[in-house]
Structure 1
Amino acid sequence: MSGEGTRGAVLFDVDGTLVDTTYLHTVAWWEALRQAGRRVPMSLIHRTIGMGSDQLLARLLGEDRDPEEAAAASAAHHTLYAAYWSRLAPLEGAADLLRACAGRGWTVVLASSARGDELEAMRRALDADDAVTAATSSDDVAASKPAPDLVRSALEHAGTTPDRAVFVGDTVWDVAACSRAGVPCLGVLSGGLTRQELLEAGAVEVYEGPADLLAHLDDSLLGRLPGGS
């Protein structure tokens, strides 16, 4: 299916890309795993943030993990992380970036590996739903990042094709998911990974965070997206 005639779409990861949650997740997973009797260094946990919880636990606990232990850890993480929901803070420039993209006629879709209720908490923190056309979460797909399902779901919600979309994310898992879906990915450093890591994973461009991307919006890959009415 050709994307000719459709307007461009900007697909956004949310955790660590638009909302400052990466290290909150790291601490919540660290404590959840301790409650399960597992001592996993935060440095290792941090590098898995951005995956869906199923894939995160598979990486941290091994493919032969006890399903009951994994389920208990996931539930504990959810409870621990939920304690922060009322205090979540958007990253500098995040809401303005979403509105600038919408103002240029691009369809804005959020695509998060978070659960649906976690995504809703982040949307409340962003307070920019006026610029968002649609959102998709791990609740909507069979496999979360780095699988391409979320990116493909976001494309469907945007009503466009990979050649007319750009994804913005903060992790190598975002980049991997985009690569598998055929969508170029812009990286941001607000999730704590390095520029080199994101570029080596395949990010087309890398910015400090939402405010930096906003300042260079027209000069970035996004600036070449087709607009719309």
Structure 2
Amino acid sequence: MPDLKRSGVLLDVDGTLVDTTYLHTVAWWEALRQADHRVPMAVIHRSIGMGSDKLLDHLLGAERDRDQDDRLRDAHDSLFAGWFERLAPLPGARELLRACAARGLRVVLATSAAEHELAALRKVLDADDVIDTVTSSADAQQSKPAPDILIAALEQAGLDAAEVVFVGDSVWDVAAAGKLDIPCIGLACGGTSRGELAGAGAVAVYDDPAALLAGLAESPIAALR
């Protein structure tokens, strides 16, 4: 039996399409500092891309006292919300979405951002007319590197894992896609190096959405129908 033709592009949003990775890093650093947890920003940055549940386990240990977790999340959310009006798309993000849609592909934002954050991110992207489906944190029981949000995106878009490519900016994105055998294109614009993304299993790596757009005809997306 021939391989199924892929027919959709799933895309992470934070750090992949919108320039938020370091803002999340600073927001978590300050939220943790307020609770007397001193965690270096470089360590926090390496955790961005996980959901808050796994991020706090990763930074503070799974055996920690979890009584502070809700307060830490609320502090992060409040700090990050202070930048909503200044968020900016990464170079070529909007154009990449439109180019994928012009190829007849379903464009799916596979993000685990909370609903209030997602509204701000979608406003920045200003591409709702070409976006087929959008997920949020409410759609996944577990966050990346678990594949739950990708499973939800596939189900909501009516796609099969054999019909898509995923675009993300972190090793956690690559790991989540790998659990479903979905090829993952890595973008280095979230601050994770090309070598790390490739080493995690990304099938191709580009600097940012603009670079992927420029090389679209030779990228794994070109094989989608």
Q: Same fold (TM over 0.5)?
A: yes
Structure 2 residue 92 is matched with structure 1 residue 93:
yes
Write the distance in 2 (CA, Å) between the matches of 1:89 and 1:112. Answer: 17
The equivalent residue for 2:205 is: 206
RMSD of the alignment, in Å? 1.5
Deviation at residue 112 of structure 1 after TM alignment: 1.2
The equivalent residue for 1:59 is: 58
The equivalent residue for 2:12 is: 13
The equivalent residue for 2:21 is: 22
Q: Indicate how the Cα distance of structure 1 residues 195 and 6 shifts in structure 2: closer, same or farther if over 3 A, else same.
A: closer
Q: Deviations over 1:92-128 (max 9, x none)?
A: 1000000000010000000112212111111101111
Q: Deviations over 1:166-205 (max 9, x none)?
A: 0000000000000012211000000001111001100000
Identity of aligned residues (%): 57
Write the distance in 2 (CA, Å) between the matches of 1:212 and 1:105. Answer: 21
Structure 2 residue 170 is matched with structure 1 residue 171:
yes
Deviation at residue 3 of structure 1 after TM alignment: 10
Structure 2 residue 188 is matched with structure 1 residue 189:
yes
Write the distance in 2 (CA, Å) between the matches of 1:5 and 1:167. Answer: 16
Write the distance in 1 (CA, Å) between the matches of 2:53 and 2:2. Answer: 33
Kindly report structure 1 stretches of 4+ aligned residues shifted beyond 4 Å: 2-7
Structure 2: unaligned runs, 5 residues or longer: none
Structural mapping, 1:27-106, within 5 Å: 27-106=26-105
Compare 21-30 and 132-141 and name the one that shifted more.
132-141
Write the distance in 2 (CA, Å) between the matches of 1:198 and 1:113. Answer: 20
Structure 1: unaligned runs, 5 residues or longer: none
Write the distance in 2 (CA, Å) between the matches of 1:45 and 1:35. Answer: 15
Does the 8 Å contact 1:171/1:191 carry over to 2?
yes
Q: Indicate how the Cα distance of structure 1 residues 217 and 32 shifts in structure 2: closer, same or farther if over 3 A, else same.
A: same
* TM-score (structure 1 length as normaliser): 0.95
* TM-score (structure 2 length as normaliser): 0.97
Write the distance in 2 (CA, Å) between the matches of 1:3 and 1:190. Answer: 35
